Amino acid sequence: MKKDALLIFASTSGSTTLLAEHLARVFSSSIDLIRIPRECVFSETLNRKLIVLMSPTYAEGNLHHAWIEQGPLIFRTLAPGQRIALIALGDSRLHKATFAGALKVFHDILSQQNAQLIGDVSADEISYPFGPSNMGGRFPGLPVEFRKERAQTKERACTWLADCLRRADAH
Ligand SMILES: Cc1cc2nc3c(=O)[nH]c(=O)nc-3n(C[C@H](O)[C@H](O)[C@H](O)COP(=O)(O)O)c2cc1C
């Protein structure tokens, strides 16, 4: 049976996989997990209480290549008004100028769709509040520095996701 929420992610070196699988374990009663491109089967409209899109940042502030390739198809199948929450991983040391830029890329694409973004985060709550995804003091989702803050990140992501699920439920 379909669960209330669906988390779709891509990963190359495994950090996003670790965090996505952790979230899926903690919220096992309410979240289904799909990894693209391997498990990408979207013949039906994507219609859940909440859809979480998750990408590591690559190529100077861009989405993971699997999102670049399969994203357009996935975005097209979203139900009108679908509630979406975003997570992007990044490296604040080697890629400070583009840190977690995938969040902004998701945001800019989805703002042109009939989607409802929830789960934005104040830059005051982020240890590394720089990069293009800091849009006037708020991030349009959760930026994650997984290497430096693994334990705190897992905890913070769980708190953030629980809040997104509550807000999606309240609508
Ligand atoms: C070639 C390459 C390019 C990267 N580009 C960026 C970037 O532009 N901005 C950023 O914040 N992180 C960047 N990163 C860091 C990754 O986003 C980070 O290591 C992430 O945790 C990787 O996720 P994954 O293990 O799920 O693939 C880059 C990493 C590599 C190897």
Domains of the chain by residue range = 5-170
Q: What is the pLDDT of residue 34?
A: 92
Q: Of all protein residues, whose CA lies closest to atom 6 belonging to ligand 1?
A: 58
Q: Of all protein residues, whose CA lies closest to atom 27 belonging to ligand 1?
A: 12
- Is 0.85 topped by the overall pTM? yes
Q: Among positive and negative, which fits the CA dihedral 122, 123, 128, 132?
A: positive
Band of pLDDT at residue 105, cut at 50, 70 and 90: very high
CA dihedral 14, 19, 21, 26 (to 10 degrees): 170
For Cα atoms 152, 68, 59, give the angle at the middle one, nearest 5 degrees.
65
Residue scoring higher pLDDT (159 or 76): 159
Band of pLDDT at residue 149, cut at 50, 70 and 90: confident
Average pLDDT over residues 147-163: 91
Q: What is the pLDDT of residue 46?
A: 82
Distance 5 CA to ligand 1 centre (A): 26
Tokens 């100077």 -> residue: 60
Distance 160 CA to ligand 1 centre (A): 22
Going by CATH, does the domain composed of 5-170 fall within 3.40.50.360? yes
Q: What is the rounded average pLDDT for all residues in the chain? A: 93
Ligand 1 environment, Cβ below 6 A: 11-16, 56-58, 60-61, 89-91, 95, 98-101, 146
Q: What is the pLDDT of residue 40?
A: 65
